[in-house]
Amino acid sequence: MASLLKQLNGELAAVAARARRSVVQVHSARYGAGTGVVVQAAGLIVTNAHVVKKRYPRVTLADGRTLRAQVLGYDADEDLAALSVEADGLEALALADSRSARPGDLVQALGHPWGVVGAATAGVVVALEAGWLEPPLRGRDWIVADLHLWPGNSGGPLLDAAGRVLGLNTMLIGTGLGVAVPAHRVGAFLGRVAPSRRGAASGYVL
Amino acid sequence: MGDNGNILAQLSNALSATVEAVSRSIVRVEARRRGHASGIAWSKEGLVVTAHHAVQRDHDLRIGLPEGGTVEAELVGRDPTTDVAVLRARGATLHPPTWAEADSLHVGHLVLSVGRHDTHAQASLGIVAKKDGAWRTPTGGHVDAFLQTDILVYPGFSGSALVDAEGRAGGMNTSWFLRRSSLTLPAATLRRVVGVLLEHGRVRRGLLGVGAHPAQLPGSVRQDLEQHAGLLVVSVEDESPAEAAGVLVGDLIVGLDGEPVQHLESLLFLLTEERIGKAVPLRVVRGGRLETLTVTVGERR
């Protein structure tokens, strides 16, 4: 039993450690940073639109480099933005098949709550809809998870048990629920705004 | 952990499979103006157990079924003291869960809360945070075990099931008693309350027929009784058990049936179903002196 928990802890930590190498800070306001995820080795990053408040936000990569980013795509309605930085050989995270997610699936979120860089929190998928949201947000696909998120988590990855991006953490409900844009909506958005880059390097699964 | 991810993936799959299996026992309860709550199938014939506080009206109730669709329901009864309500879904065949008793749940156990305030089931994960023996709710309800989890309860989760690692329902979650944190009414309590509600439509509560206010005892009696406060009678209802017993305005009630009465809650605790119709000693302080009256506890209607 103890060794089982030890193994479980080891695997949770490994997922977080691997994902942390693909998680970036997005600096776009005077204070604080949002989170972004590298989805292509050639410098394609996805985050929330509400994190991006400038045309050229700065992005701090996991290796510590801070680069100027270009906004490739911006969809306020979907709350998604695609950024591109002049870098290559970055470690990218693959998108999961979010349509097959089920309530009870274990998930982790990575982000920078309160400016704590690369912080992890774990929980389970609560629901794949968010009936509490007001229209037009209600009725869309969401992934709701019982996670302790804070504003700095915005745009960060919601990871499944295999360490793939199940969604992008976008909203909070109270202090114990996170609402994420599911990966299939992120994939569709990236297909629209960065079509030429699709499939380049370690791509994402649509 | 990707490729070497083994336990984590297995655990994740086991959790979602457990949720899926038990969710066929979880229904949506549409009984309040804003936001639906959850309920647990109690019998194949359509009985549903849910949280009393989530059933804000007695009519125009509906149950959302696990397989989809909504049916009309009627209120069988409710017990505000334990926050349990029982509904009967019309023309629906339900799938009650397998129940687990509280003694099989231990602090540290992984548990899920499975509800359905939307179309589909919702789940959240936590552990059993605290477990203790039987307790009385502030309004006098008897609960067979104190079961608290660290599962977050948000609107709509009241009436959800606490589900153990074997997929059994260990009780019904409610946010009523602890507000921001989840308290679980164990299966034994649900069985007992549902039984009474099916028979009487409500849980019977005793009645004295007095209006009372907590007050400090005079110094002399304080020492004799080893209690500091009692209930000052400010009104006595006509033709009430208290009037028949000779209770007067100005009496300080300090004990009922051998148990101390110091505040309104302690009197409520004592006005249980078992005492209805029984003649029990009522201790009062009158004119600075202790007196014992005999009161036949009535029934609150």
Per-residue pLDDT tens over the stretch B6-28: 899 999 999 999 999 999 999 99
For residue A173, what are the CA distances in angstroms to B5, B21, B169?
Answer: 30, 27, 27
Asked if B15 lies within 8 A of A105 by C-beta distance, the reply is yes
CA closest to B125 among chain A residues: A124
Phi, psi of A200 (to 5 degrees): -70, 140
CA angle B86, B161, A124 (to 5 degrees): 150
Task: Sort out which chain A residues have CB atoms less than 8 A from B12's CB and list them.
Answer: 104-106, 160-161
Q: Amino acid identity of B222?
A: R
The answer to whether the Cβ–Cβ distance between A162 and B2 falls below 8 Å is yes
Question: Which residue among A14, A129, A176 places its CB closest to the CB of B152?
Answer: A176
For β-strands B252-256 and B259-260, DSSP reports them as: antiparallel
8 A C-beta contact, residue A128 and residue A105: no
Helix (H, G, I), strand (E, B) or coil at A129: coil
The enclosing H or E element of A109 equals: strand A106-111
Mean pLDDT of B77-103: 95
Nearest CA in chain B to A101: B16
Per the structure block, which two tokens stand in for B61? Answer: 């109730």
CA dihedral A106, B36, B152, A135 (to 10 degrees): 70
Q: How confident is the model at residue A200 (pLDDT cuts 50, 70, 90)?
A: very low
Give the chain B residue whose CA is nearest to the CA of A165: B2
Interface contact B5, partner A, CB < 8 A: yes
How would you classify residue A201: left for phi > 0, otherwise alpha for psi between -120 and 50, otherwise beta?
left
Mutate which: B7, B32, B162, B164, vs A, most A CBs within 10 A: B7
Residues of A in contact with B18 (CB under 8 A): 104
Provide the total of helices (H) and of strands (E) in chain A, helices listed first: 2, 13
Residues A178 and A144 sit within 8 Å (Cβ to Cβ): yes
pLDDT value of position B157: 84
Contacts of B102 (CB under 8 A, 6+ apart): B131, B144, B145, B147, B170, B171, B186, B187, B188
pLDDT tens digits for A134-149?
777 778 899 999 998 8
Interface test with B, best of A102, A141, A144 (most B CBs within 10 A): A102
Q: Minimal Cα–Cα distance from B2 to chain A, Å?
A: 4
Listed in sequence order, the DSSP H helices in A43-99 are: none
Rounded to 5 degrees, φ, ψ at A94 are: -85, 150
> Rounded distance, CA A90 to CA A193, Å?
20
In this predicted structure, what is the pLDDT of residue A62? 94
CB contact under 8 A, B155 and A105: no
When pLDDT is averaged across residues A172-183 and rounded to a whole number, the result is 89
What whole-number percentage of chain A has pLDDT above 90? 71
Alpha-carbon gap, residue B167 to B98, rounded angstroms:
8
ipTM above 0.90, yes or no: no
For A49-61, the pLDDT digits (tens) are 999 998 899 999 9
Contact call for B23 and A103, based on CB within 8 A: yes
Residue B131 · residue B105 · CB < 8 Å: yes
Torsion of CA B169, B179, B66, B113, to 10 degrees: -40
- Is A79 considered catalytic here? yes
| A67 has pLDDT over 60 | yes
- A106/B12 touch (CB, cutoff 8 Å), yes or no: yes
The CA distance from A160 to the nearest CA of chain B, in Å, is 9
d(CA A97, CA B39): 31
Q: How far apart (Å, rounded) are the C-alpha atoms in residues B204 and A102?
A: 43
Number of other residues whose CB lies within 10 A of the CB of residue B119: 12
Which neighbouring-strand residues pair with B255? B260, B283
List all residues of chain B from 77 to 136 with a beta carbon under 8 Å from chain A: 112, 114, 117-126
Closest CB to B154 among A15, A128, A177: A177
Q: Give the whole-angstrom CA distance, residue B289 versus residue B301.
A: 33
- Say if residues B196 and B79 touch (Cβ distance below 8 Å): yes
The mean-pLDDT minimum among A15-24, A177-186, B146-155 falls in B146-155
Alpha-helical (H) ranges within chain A are 2-20, 183-193
CA distance B210 to B261: 14
Structure confidence by residue, pLDDT tens digits, B228-255:
999 999 999 999 999 999 999 999 999 9
Strand partners, A111: A119
Helix axes A2-20, B7-22, angle to 10 degrees: 100
- Does the active-site annotation cover A154? yes
Q: Which residues of chain B does A160 touch, with a Cβ-Cβ cutoff of 8 Å?
A: 12
Statement: residue B301 has pLDDT above 80? no
3-state helix, strand, coil in chain B (%, to 5): 20, 40, 40
What whole-number distance in Å separates Cα of residue B169 and Cα of residue B281?
42
Number of Cβ pairs < 8 A linking chain A and chain B: 111
State the smallest CA–CA distance between residue A90 and chain B in angstroms. Answer: 18
Is B28 touching A (CB cutoff 8 A)?
Answer: no
**Which residue of A11, A121, A144, A171 is the best one to mutate when testing the B interface, meaning the one whose CB has the most B CBs within 10 A?**
A11
Residue A27 gets which letter from DSSP?
A: E
DSSP B172-195: EEESTTTTTEEEEEEHHHHHHHHH
- Interface with chain A: mutation pick from B110, B122, B163, highest number of A CBs within 10 Å: B122
* Single-letter residue type at B230: G
Taking CB atoms and an 8 Å cutoff, what residues of chain B touch A124? 15, 112, 123-125
Active-site annotation holder among A50, A75, A141, A202: A50
Give residue A205's pLDDT.
Answer: 39
Q: How many residues does chain B have?
A: 301
Residue matched to tokens 């439509």: B201
Q: Grade residue A201 by pLDDT with cuts at 50, 70 and 90.
A: very low
Q: Evaluate if pTM is beyond 0.95.
A: no
